[in-house]
């Protein structure tokens, strides 16, 4: 989205291909158009993207008029429809309210409605549910999921909640210290993780469906300090399977089996190592 402020943030290289175009190579005006129009983003903090000074109707309408060429009346009608879609009760009346008149969970829903005013091809949801409760979290993710199936919007969910991943996503990319360490189809990845970090993560969370007294696996050490990433594989100081090579060389992300990628020298032997 090119939203990292410069300075201090600098994109050092690479490409971001969206619908065949490199988003890093286009002009600021072009990226701005894509941002509101084709890619929408839902943030952790609803307050950052809702303007406290305008009513919800004004904010939704403005975007509808801009992105969908609607007239004022049509936009007002569509605003109510969107609020209903994201589960705001009494939408006809509430559309005239201001952001502070809604609870945190409702603000999040309004933000999703806001993201939908432009019929995006891609919706990026960054920890969309950390500040809300489990029941509200389930409501919000169900809404996003319904929009995905109804309108064919592609969705990226950024989260540390493994349950959310298991329930809602088709494919997972696991990151550690700024790199992708594993990727694959959700079912396959949970059934047979191929990177020691993923493996540790999955067995370190308590689960409602397992006997209560089962022991949690503990990944030792501290999360990586990005200013002082260790040489070799960044995970090696915390990895129980680390060998000399891991301390010297950075493993590349490579295909291990069909559609399954992992960045670990020992991925192929891992099932056997764990068996021991």
Partner 1 sequence: MGMDNNNLVEVENLVMYFPVTAGIMRRKVADVKAVDGISFYIKNGETLGLVGESGCGKTTTGRCILRLYEITSGKITFDGVDISKLNKEQMRNMRRNMQLIFQDPFASLDPRQTAGSIIGEPLQVHKLVKGQEYKEQVAELLKMVELEPRMSVRYPHEFSGGQRQRLGLARALAVRPKFIVCDEPVSALDVSIQAQIITLLLRLKQELNLTYLFIAHDLSVVRHISDRVGVMYLGRMAELTRSDELYDNPLHPYTQALLSAVPIPDPAVDRQRKRILLSGDVPSPIFTPGGCHFHPRCSVAMDVCKDQVPEFKDVGNEHWVACWRV
Instruction: Write out the residues near partner 1 by the rule CB under 8 A.
Output: 87, 89, 103-106, 132-139, 142, 160-168, 186-187, 190-191, 200-202, 204-209, 212, 215-220, 222-223, 238
Nearest CB to partner 1, comparing residues 77 and 145: 145
User: To which H or E segment does residue 181 belong?
Assistant: strand 179-185
Report the nearest approach of partner 1 to the CB of residue 189 (Å).
9
Report the nearest approach of partner 1 to the CB of residue 148 (Å).
16
Nearest CB to partner 1, comparing residues 157 and 270: 157
Query: Which residues touch 6 (CB under 8 Å, ≥6 apart)?
Result: none
Alpha helices in 180-230 (DSSP H): 186-191, 196-204
Nearest CB to partner 1, comparing residues 216 and 250: 216
Length of the chain: 276
Rounded Cα–Cα distance for residues 185 and 217 (Å): 24
Nearest CB to partner 1, comparing residues 76 and 166: 166
Report the nearest approach of partner 1 to the CB of residue 6 (Å).
28
- Bridge partners (DSSP) of residue 122 are 39, 154
Rounded Cα–Cα distance for residues 229 and 167 (Å): 32
Nearest CB to partner 1, comparing residues 96 and 204: 204
Find out whether the peptide bond into 7 is cis, omega within 30 degrees of 0: yes
Report the nearest approach of partner 1 to the CB of residue 16 (Å).
27
Report the nearest approach of partner 1 to the CB of residue 103 (Å).
5
């Amino acid at each position: 989205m090119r939203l990292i402020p410069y300075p201090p943030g600098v994109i050092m290289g690479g490409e971001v291909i969206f619908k065949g175009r490199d988003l890093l190579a286009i002009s600021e005006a072009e990226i701005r158009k894509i941002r509101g129009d084709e890619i929408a983003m839902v943030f952790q903090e609803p307050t950052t993207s809702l303007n406290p000074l305008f009513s919800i109707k004004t904010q939704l309408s403005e975007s509808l008029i801009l992105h969908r060429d609607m007239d004022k009346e049509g936009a007002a009608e569509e605003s109510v429809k969107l609020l209903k879609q994201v589960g705001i009760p009494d939408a006809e009346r509430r559309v005239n309210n201001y952001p502070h008149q809604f609870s945190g969970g409702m603000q999040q829903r309004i933000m999703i409605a806001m993201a939908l005013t432009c019929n995006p091809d891609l919706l990026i949801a960054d920890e969309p549910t950390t500040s809300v409760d489990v029941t509200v979290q389930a409501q919000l993710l169900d809404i996003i999921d319904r929009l995905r199936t109804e309108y064919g919007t592609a969705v990226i969910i950024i989260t540390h909640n493994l349950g959310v991943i298991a329930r809602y996503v088709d494919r997972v990319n696991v990151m550690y210290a700024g790199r992708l360490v594993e990727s694959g189809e959700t079912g396959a990845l949970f059934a047979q993780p191929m990177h020691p970090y993923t493996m540790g993560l999955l067995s370190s969370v308590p689960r409602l469906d397992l006997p209560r007294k089962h022991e949690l696996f503990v990944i030792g050490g501290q999360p990586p300090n990005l200013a002082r990433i260790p040489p070799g594989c960044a995970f090696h100081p915390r990895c129980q399977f680390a060998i000399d090579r891991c301390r010297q060389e950075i493993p590349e992300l490579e295909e291990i089996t069909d559609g399954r990628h992992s960045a670990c020298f020992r991925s192929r032997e891992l099932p056997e190592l764990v068996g021991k």
